Structure 1
Amino acid sequence: MTRPTDDRRDIADRADIDRLVRAFYERALVDPVLAAAFETLATIGLDGHLPVVGDFWEQILFRTTRYRGEFAMVHEALNRQHGLAGEKLARWLHLWCEAVDAEFAGPDAERAKAKAIAMAGALTRSWRPAT
Structure 2
Amino acid sequence: MEYTIGEVSKKLDMSTYTLRFYEKEGLLPSIKRNQQGIRKFNEDNLYWIDMVRCFRDTGMSLQDVKHIVDLTNEGHDTLEERKHILQEHKAKVQQQMDNLQQHLHKIDKKIQWYEGDTTACEIQSRV
| Fold shared by both chains (TM-score > 0.5) | no
Q: Structure 2-normalised TM-score?
A: 0.30
Q: Structure 1-normalised TM-score?
A: 0.29
